[in-house]
Amino acid sequence: MAGRFRILADEHWSRGHIKAIRSAGWELVRLVDIGELGQGTSDPQLLAYCAEHGYVWMTTDQRAQAHIARWMKSGRALPGAVIAVQRHRITPGRLLRFLEDLAAEDAPFAGVIRFVPPE
């Protein structure tokens, strides 16, 4: 079992999602709370920050997949990424269950990107 991982949530997540994850004891920082980054940070900058500080990037932005693929293709590492497709309307409880399930896996980010399935 890999255990819990550090999460960097971008600006696309609701307060309800953030509160549910933090209330369950996860280490989560929001992009908007990181002084050197903040809202509007480019995906490559965000990826560099995650790689340097050991965060898994959590986003609902489907375009992130292309940025991550380019990042990995260039030979750079990334702890992982969790992408939830917005149209699936993932509830805070569903997202938390998904994260807990990932934490129970031996190598949850062997493929780097994990997609939150619809409910």
| Predicted TM-score (pTM) of this structure | 0.90
Per-residue pLDDT tens for 38-51?
777 888 999 999 99
Q: How far apart are the C-alpha atoms of 119 and 101, rounded to whole Å?
A: 14
List pLDDT tens digits, range 55-78.
999 998 888 889 999 999 999 999
Angstrom CA distances, 82 to 24, 35, 36, stand at 17, 23, 22
Query: How many whole angstroms separate alpha carbon 22 and alpha carbon 12?
Result: 16
| Residue 98 CB neighbour total at 10 angstroms | 18
